């Protein structure tokens, strides 16, 4: 069945094209009322929004097919992440798409405040010419306090340093090494930083700790004439008291791009000429919109395909080095899970995954999720995502164990899976990193499984392959590739045969009747 994604806000055409190129149907339906979204979402596997669409618990619970929610931007305040997690729905964002734009807008607001750009512009547009009122200040050799030294804060530090500014900062999660690299003198106390700054900019998430982080007490400790800038989240600067300190002249100017309630049509800041206010433009550049659309489309497609979603917010983050190592094995594990479901026939009670060679030591949780997805999704037993893999395994009574081994059996890396004694292992080969079976039921192999295969286990004797070829030929079924592996210890052999054509129950019955000493025959579809 074709996967379908609902896009409820404007997305770059390149992002929509990426979805469609990967065989995903993308429906764009803008400005949907909440009740219309609830009614429509049951038909979709994925949802892409920006900041205006409210993805509530009601929406998520109505989305029976929903597997991924993508936010084309950074914050996910408009998504009920808890409800999504409960239902195994991945919530992801595009956190790096607009960081350059946000950093540049921060500098734009800082310069506009320092040089009275907005006020002077208004005077000239009014056909007047005044210069004395608009004498500004330089950024050079001024002290900038940066609160939050993550991606955007770090870019602001780099740009402010180019202006010759002295940098101080506060971020409890920033290492001293990163602060030193950015040229920021790091403090561990907000109140110690505030009195030092000529300019203050915040780049913090919206949390209980950051909302109202700056209020009357902090404003009173600031330098006279300080300039405040916020392109992060509304409410970090408490607005009412901010207006009071602007009126008193304690604060020289503010540049605000984000507000507690948006659209913001009523604010005590509106009456001040030295308050430069913009309507949440931090990410509003052509480049950022393009990046956000492409990135979120890529991540949503990955989630629908069962691959790693590196920006998933409701699962353990996957570091880039781990993703590089284990990511290519996720589709292979899904394939092996599906194969185990068809060969084993029942939901196993015990599943063990072992990562070997170069994979040894890497976090295998995403590989387990891929295996469970293939194992349980084959007969629509359950829908598995990395978000709910552990919960699904527990609900079905599957005990999962993982291990690692430095030896990969002669390969650079490989993954082996055992489900109640039924074993399969694979490695990746070639530039395309295609999966190749290297072991099945204890038999050594080296074959790339096709979409349809026949697996024979029989007592090894001359003529067996001839019989298989004759029967399949008579039925118009073509053998594309095949490999045989013998087990001299017990006199058995296994033939893995990739085929093209319709393999009916009648064909399977004819094969069973024609092969003496046939132990097992499986028709595997991948």
pLDDT band with cut points at 50, 70 and 90 for residue 134 = very high
Q: Please say whether the beta carbons of 333 and 370 come within 8 A.
A: yes
* C-alpha–C-alpha distance, residues 523 and 515, integer Å: 15
In this predicted structure, what is the pLDDT of residue 205? Answer: 87
pLDDT above 70 (res 388): yes
pLDDT above 90 (res 137): yes
In this predicted structure, what is the pLDDT of residue 518? Answer: 92
The active-site residue out of 67, 105, 203, 233 is: 233
Task: Identify the CA nearest to 66 among candidates 241, 49, 514, 244.
Answer: 49
- Each domain of the chain, given as residue ranges in start order, spans 4-96+287-304, 99-277, 318-449, 450-526
In this predicted structure, what is the pLDDT of residue 3? Answer: 94
CATH superfamily name and code, 99-277: NAD(P)-binding Rossmann-like Domain (3.40.50.720)
Residues forming beta bridges with residue 455, ordered by sequence position: 496, 522
The active-site residue out of 280, 344, 396, 523 is: 280
pLDDT above 80 (res 504): yes
In this predicted structure, what is the pLDDT of residue 321? Answer: 65
pLDDT above 70 (res 121): yes
pLDDT above 70 (res 180): yes
CATH superfamily name and code, 4-96+287-304: NAD(P)-binding Rossmann-like Domain (3.40.50.720)
Strand order in 443-447's β-sheet?
399-405, 350-357, 413-419, 422-429, 434-440, 443-447
The per-residue pLDDT for range 293-342, each reduced to its tens digit, is: 999 999 999 889 877 787 888 876 666 666 777 888 988 999 999 999 99
Asked about 280 being catalytic, the answer comes back as yes
The per-residue pLDDT for range 82-101, each reduced to its tens digit, is: 899 888 899 999 988 899 99
The per-residue pLDDT for range 15-71, each reduced to its tens digit, is: 999 999 999 999 999 999 999 999 999 999 999 999 889 999 999 999 999 999 999
pLDDT above 70 (res 353): yes
In this predicted structure, what is the pLDDT of residue 320? Answer: 64
Q: What percentage of the chain reaches a pLDDT higher than 70? A: 97
Domains 99-277 and 318-449 share a fold: no
Q: Coil, strand, or helix at residue 463?
A: coil
pLDDT band with cut points at 50, 70 and 90 for residue 383 = low
Task: Identify the CA nearest to 380 among candidates 392, 364, 398, 368.
Answer: 392
* CATH 1.10.1060.10 holds for 318-449: no
The active-site residue out of 262, 287, 401, 500 is: 262
CATH topology of domain 450-526: Alpha-Beta Plaits (3.30.70)
Model's pTM, two decimal places? 0.62
pLDDT above 90 (res 385): no
Asked about 271 being catalytic, the answer comes back as no
* C-alpha–C-alpha distance, residues 349 and 418, integer Å: 11
Q: Please say whether the beta carbons of 451 and 503 come within 8 A.
A: no
The per-residue pLDDT for range 426-470, each reduced to its tens digit, is: 999 888 888 999 999 999 999 999 999 999 999 998 889 999 999
Residue showing tokens 């053998």: 479
Distance of CA 262 to the CA centre of its chain: 26
Residues forming beta bridges with residue 521, ordered by sequence position: 456
* Mean pLDDT, all residues of the chain: 92
* C-alpha–C-alpha distance, residues 369 and 336, integer Å: 12
In this predicted structure, what is the pLDDT of residue 17? Answer: 95
Backbone angles phi, psi at 374, to 5 degrees: -65, -40
In this predicted structure, what is the pLDDT of residue 377? Answer: 75
Half-sphere exposure of 99 (CA within 13 A, CB side): 18
Asked about 262 being catalytic, the answer comes back as yes
In this predicted structure, what is the pLDDT of residue 85? Answer: 84
């Amino acid at each position: 069945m074709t996967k379908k994604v609902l896009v409820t806000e404007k997305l770059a055409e390149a992002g929509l094209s990426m979805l469609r190129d990967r065989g995903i149907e993308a429906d764009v339906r803008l400005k949907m009322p909440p009740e219309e979204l609830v009614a429509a979402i049951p038909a979709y596997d994925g949802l892409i929004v920006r900041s205006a669409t409210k993805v509530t618990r009601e929406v998520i619970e109505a989305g029976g097919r929903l597997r991924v929610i993508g936010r084309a931007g950074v914050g996910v305040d408009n998504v009920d992440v808890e409800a999504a997690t409960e239902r195994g729905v991945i919530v992801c964002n595009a956190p790096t798409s607009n960081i350059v734009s946000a950093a540049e807008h921060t500098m734009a607001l800082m310069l506009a405040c320092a040089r009275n750009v907005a006020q002077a512009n208004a005077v000239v547009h009014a056909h007047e010419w005044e210069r004395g009122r608009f004498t500004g200040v330089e950024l050079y050799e001024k002290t900038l306090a940066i609160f939050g030294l993550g991606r955007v804060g770090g870019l602001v530090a780099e740009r402010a340093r180019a202006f010759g500014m002295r940098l101080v900062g506060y971020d409890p999660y920033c290492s001293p090494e990163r602060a030193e690299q950015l040229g920021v003198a790091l403090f561990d106390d907000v109140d110690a930083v505030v009195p030092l700054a000529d300019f203050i900019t915040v780049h913090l998430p919206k949390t209980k700790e950051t909302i109202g982080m700056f209020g009357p007490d902090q404003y009173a400790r600031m330098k006279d004439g300080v300039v405040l800038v916020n392109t992060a989240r509304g409410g970090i600067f408490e607005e009412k008291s901010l207006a009071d300190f602007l009126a008193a002249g304690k604060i020289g100017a503010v540049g605000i791009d984000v507000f507690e309630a948006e659209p913001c049509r009523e604010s005590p800041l509106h009456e001040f000429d030295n308050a430069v206010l913009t309507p949440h433009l931090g990410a509003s550049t052509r480049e950022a919109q393009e990046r956000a659309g492409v990135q979120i489309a890529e991540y949503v497609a990955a989630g629908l395909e069962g691959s790693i979603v590196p920006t998933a917010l409701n699962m353990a983050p996957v570091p880039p080095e781990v993703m590089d190592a284990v990511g290519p094995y996720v589709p292979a594990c899904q394939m092996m899970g599906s194969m185990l479901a068809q060969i084993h026939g029942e939901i196993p009670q015990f599943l063990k995954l072992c990562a070997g060679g170069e994979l040894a030591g890497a976090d295998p949780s995403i590989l387990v999720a891929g295996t469970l997805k293939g194992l349980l999704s084959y007969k629509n037993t359950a829908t598995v995502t990395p978000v709910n893999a552990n919960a699904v395994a527990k609900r079905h009574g599957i005990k999962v164990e993982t291990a690692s081994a430095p030896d990969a059996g002669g390969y650079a890396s490989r993954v082996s899976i055992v489900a109640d004694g039924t074993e399969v292992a694979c490695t990746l080969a070639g530039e395309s990193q295609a999966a190749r079976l290297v072991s099945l039921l204890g038999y050594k192999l080296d074959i790339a499984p096709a979409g349809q295969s026949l697996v024979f286990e029989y007592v090894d004797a001359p003529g067996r392959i001839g019989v298989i070829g004759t029967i399949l030929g008579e039925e118009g079924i073509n053998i594309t590739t095949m490999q045989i592996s013998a087990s001299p210890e017990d006199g058995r052999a296994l033939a893995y045969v990739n085929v093209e054509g319709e393999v009916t129950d009648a064909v399977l019955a004819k094969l069973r009747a024609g092969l003496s000493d046939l132990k097992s025959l499986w028709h595997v579809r991948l």
